Amino acid sequence: MKFINLTRRTEIGANSYYLEIGRHRLLLDCGMHPKNTGEEALPNFKLTAGREIEAILISHAHQDHIGTLPLAMRRFPGARVFMTEATAEVGSVLLHNSVNVMTRQREEIGPPVAGLYPLFTHRETDRASERWRWCPLRQRISISGERAPQPQRISGLTFEFFDAGHVLGSAGVLLRAEGQTVFYTGDVNFDDQTIMEAAIFPQEKIDVLIVECTRGDHAKPADWTRAGEERRLAEALAAAFERGSCVLIPVFALGKTQEVLAMFYKFRRERRLPEFPIYIGGLSSKFTDIYDRRAHMTRRQLPRLQLMREVAPFILNDETIRDAPLRGGRAYVLSSGMMIPRTLSNVFARRLIENQQHSIFFVGYANPKSPAGLLRDTGTEGEVALDPDKPAQRIRCNIEQFQFSAHSTREALVDYATKLAPRKIVLVHGDPPAVEWMRATLTAELPDSEVIVPTPGVELEL
């Protein structure tokens, strides 16, 4: 069994992994780096030169897992592409949005990279998505595409998707071939969120576990509970509105937006907060529509909740964000979560950070080097340039942090790995301190397992 980490650095970037099991060659995920442009935004597909890829398996539709799928399909025209139906629906919206973003970037980044942009077109995205195969959870499927009534009789490599509890459609992938099993977690959450229910992952014998490490550098606070954190957010919003504050909550368009809207719905229903206007972006509203449409066919909490109808957010776009009123008592739940320059959350934050009346609440992961990470870590009274093309600003607004991560705690990841006690554990999808903590902890907990941090670009024999 061979493995190559195609991500360019040990980080959460353009996540993609090459896996060879016997004569089968696959890719797990094809992400795009959310911050970089050009070659630096892509997985290092060149490392697969001369190898025919038979299948591409996509764990979920976040940009850093699906963002370069049309490019990978161009490079490997014979590959079959598998994902859940919800991931396909969300993924197609995300990739079309990405074409628009890249078309805009073309003017900003300049030559020579600009000449390559957009890296794929709307038409190519449509053609690609017609070739995706939708797979249900918990069904053993042959990599050749057949679904067998008697799965144990399928020969060769099979895969099976397991609910990962991260965002709508997210799945872990269990691969079985020649008596060997490999499980790739994708992004996972072992705890319930407000909408998503906790992952249901395999408990059987696993030989190789490929596991995400996003929160490896954060200990779970002893007294943390989701209900307690929801209460803290409701109180903070009430206090901010009392002060006449308008509150910006930077979020990922997929997942965190819908979780925050569901919390707002609960706050109103439980009369913890009065009615207040809520604003989201256009892309977020498209994903929220999909959450609503699929509510009754998804394993989730609040299955009857229709967010667009019952929470009724107002929708902003690139133009209206510039003069949306900074009026107290309003909540702006805007992407991107990392406040990448020119996104709604970045544009809006630059309008409000110098005003001490207003507030920014962080609710999830942000890369420390991203504008959101810089702002969060600098804090009130510091200075920050949220857009490198614009002057730095003094931070006077109120900044608060809440923990509603869509990723597993490191403690739950270690518990899961310890229960499975696989022969090898491959640590991916984490910044270096996160991966390092996981390596040290798992090595101590599981002396008989080999714990591997895969150096980007180096072929490993598993």
Residues that bind Zn ion (CB under 5 A): 62, 187
Tell the smallest beta-carbon distance from residue 255 to Zn ion (Å): 7
Q: For 143-257, where are the E strands, in sequence order?
A: 158-163, 171-177, 180-184, 208-212, 247-250
Which residues does 67 contact at the CB level (< 8 Å), separation at least 6? Answer: 14, 30, 31, 32, 34, 41, 94, 95, 98
Indicate the SS3 state at residue 176.
strand
CA–CA dist 343, 338 (Å, integer)? 9
Tell the smallest beta-carbon distance from residue 446 to Zn ion (Å): 26
Tell the smallest beta-carbon distance from residue 284 to Zn ion (Å): 15
Choice between 58 and 321, CB closer to Zn ion = 58
CA–CA dist 431, 437 (Å, integer)? 10
- List the one residue out of 117, 104, 110 whose CA is nearest residue 41: 117
CA–CA dist 369, 33 (Å, integer)? 13
Tell the smallest beta-carbon distance from residue 220 to Zn ion (Å): 19
Choice between 61 and 79, CB closer to Zn ion = 61
Choice between 143 and 366, CB closer to Zn ion = 366
Beta-carbon count within 10 A of 354 CB = 12
Q: Extract the tokens encoding 34.
A: 């959310």
Choice between 64 and 230, CB closer to Zn ion = 64
Tell the smallest beta-carbon distance from residue 168 to Zn ion (Å): 11
CA–CA dist 7, 273 (Å, integer)? 44
The string over 11-20, giving b where at least 16 C-beta atoms fall within 10 Å of a residue's C-beta and e elsewhere, is: bbbbbbbbbb
- List the one residue out of 49, 57, 61, 62 whose CA is nearest residue 80: 57
CA–CA dist 170, 306 (Å, integer)? 20
Choice between 196 and 333, CB closer to Zn ion = 196
Tell the smallest beta-carbon distance from residue 103 to Zn ion (Å): 24
Choice between 62 and 424, CB closer to Zn ion = 62
Tell the smallest beta-carbon distance from residue 166 to Zn ion (Å): 6
Choice between 90 and 397, CB closer to Zn ion = 90
Tell the smallest beta-carbon distance from residue 60 to Zn ion (Å): 6
Peptide bond into 112 cis (omega under 30): yes
Choice between 62 and 376, CB closer to Zn ion = 62
Q: Extract the tokens encoding 230.
A: 């929801």
**Which amino acid, residue 139?**
Q
Indicate the SS3 state at residue 18.
strand
Choice between 170 and 343, CB closer to Zn ion = 170
Q: For 120-225, where are the E strands, in sequence order?
A: 132-134, 141-142, 158-163, 171-177, 180-184, 208-212
Tell the smallest beta-carbon distance from residue 444 to Zn ion (Å): 28
Peptide bond into 202 cis (omega under 30): no
**Which amino acid, residue 206?**
I
Tell the smallest beta-carbon distance from residue 434 to Zn ion (Å): 15
Tell the smallest beta-carbon distance from residue 364 to Zn ion (Å): 10
Choice between 62 and 358, CB closer to Zn ion = 62
Choice between 73 and 254, CB closer to Zn ion = 254
The string over 113-137, giving b where at least 16 C-beta atoms fall within 10 Å of a residue's C-beta and e elsewhere, is: beeebbbbeeebbeebbeebeebeb
